[in-house]
Amino acid sequence: MTQFSRRLAALPSYPMAEIPAIKRRLVQQGVDVIDVGAGDADFAPPEVAVDALNRAIRDPAMSRYAFQLGLPAFREAAAAYMKRRFDARFDPFTELHPLIGSKEGIAHLALSLLDPGDVAIVPEPGYAVYEGGTVLAGGEPYRYALTPRTGFLLELDELPTDIARRAKLVYLNYPNNPTAATASRDYLERAVAYCRKHGIVIAYDNPYCEITFDDYVAPSIFEIPGAREVAVEFHSLSKSFCMTGWRLAWAVGRPELIAGLARVKNYVDTGAFLAVQAAGAAVLPLAEELARGYVERFKERRDGMLPVLRSQGFEPETPAATMYVWVPLPDGVESAAFARRALTEAGVVTLPGSGFGAGGEGFFRIALTVGTPRLVEAAERLGKVLTAV
């Protein structure tokens, strides 16, 4: 019998692993399923990306290995975006690295930093790759529960002394998935100061920085003095530009940290498809303009759904960013049980808060990834489930 590694056994179950099979079975049975689970919007990608890809795939050179250098034009476009958007200057070849989606980069950063016994501080609820990457690297995850008490902020000053001493990495993600929380400049200054004091690297996951509402503008960690000493920031074309399946992102940070990430990647991949990098290079000069168009549509969906959710007995906060609504459940209602009933009894796919870690219990997540009429109908169906609980 095959003996798998202890690291594999230590991986938590992935929050969406069983949902596709249940959804497929219900659809085959003729159930009208509304899927607001995965953060994968139904909008088309930008035409400029499609046009650039069409041109690039006809160039035989674009079908060669990308290796870790990738397409210089993509590196330069990403660096120009960082300067234009955040006034943060990075050398496109020593302080920036293309990724096959930010997910792999986040996981591979852990491999470059953690040894067995080292601690990574993992927000809970949070993106599964934070804990998964830590475990696969042989590190020890320390789970910090994000709750309304702190505004869903990971307050580093609350960490036990022994954890602070052993920690080498902390994952911060604002605007946040799944809670949609945002972080103030004051918070980021405190986080940077703490990590500089304790020698902890910040993996700052920033894929939702362009999906913001009501005059809120999301920052980069690199707008904070001293962040270059301790931070690596991850950006992605997936969410803001509806290019999830294209798998293109980048990381930025000081040369030593980026070189460590690149060295790991040398052994596990040969770079994102060059034609996709060409498409990314075409998108990024227009990033803010393109994102605005998507944000207007997300806002219309948010504002159409929230009143209906509230009329059905739910009490969600109005998110200032991301494509998510983080919905509290009444005391005593378990999120996994509610999400399962929502799917099997009402045909609505949501994600339970507990699927993002035990710290997410008592909430569920809705993604604004279908049209407003369907979101309204989903809210009404969820209300019937709540009434029946």
Rg, the chain, Cα only: 21
Intervals of CATH 3.40.640.10 along the chain: 47-287
> 15: pLDDT confidence band, cut at 50, 70 and 90?
low
- In the chain, CATH 3.90.1150.10 covers 6-45+288-388
Long-range contacts made by residues 15-20, C-beta under 8 angstroms, separation at least 24?
15/128, 15/351, 15/352, 15/355, 15/356, 16/351, 16/355, 19/343, 19/349, 19/351
- How far is the CA of 386 from the CAs of 62, 229, 314, 380, in angstroms? 52, 48, 9, 10
Gap between the terminal Cα atoms of the chain? 43
pLDDT for residue 22: 83
Check whether 87 has a pLDDT greater than 80.
yes
- Does the structure show a pLDDT above 90 at 306? yes
Confidence label for 16 from pLDDT (cuts 50, 70 and 90): low
What are the φ and ψ backbone dihedral angles of 101, each rounded to 5 degrees?
85, 150
According to CATH, what is the number of the domain 6-45+288-388? 3.90.1150.10
Long-range contacts of 82-87 (CB under 8 A, 24+ apart): 82/220, 82/222, 82/235, 82/252, 85/209, 85/220, 85/287, 85/288, 86/219, 86/220, 86/222, 86/223, 87/223
* Predicted pLDDT at 141: 97
What mean pLDDT do residues 257-272 have?
97
For the chain, what percent of residues have pLDDT higher than 90?
Answer: 89
Mean pLDDT, the chain, as a whole number? 95
Supply the pLDDT for residue 2: 85
The pLDDT value recorded for residue 1 is 80
pLDDT band at 14 (very low <50, low <70, confident <90, very high): low
pTM: 0.95
Stretch 126-155: mean pLDDT: 96
Q: Model confidence at 215, in pLDDT bands (50, 70, 90)?
A: very high
Q: Which fold has domain 47-287?
A: Aspartate Aminotransferase; domain 2 (3.40.640)
Q: What is the band of 120 on the pLDDT scale with cuts at 50, 70, 90?
A: very high
| Bridge partners, residue 34, by sequence | 348
Cβ proximity of 261 and 109 under 8 Å = yes
In this predicted model, which residue has the larger pLDDT, 50 or 22? 50
**pLDDT (0 to 100) of residue 11:** 85
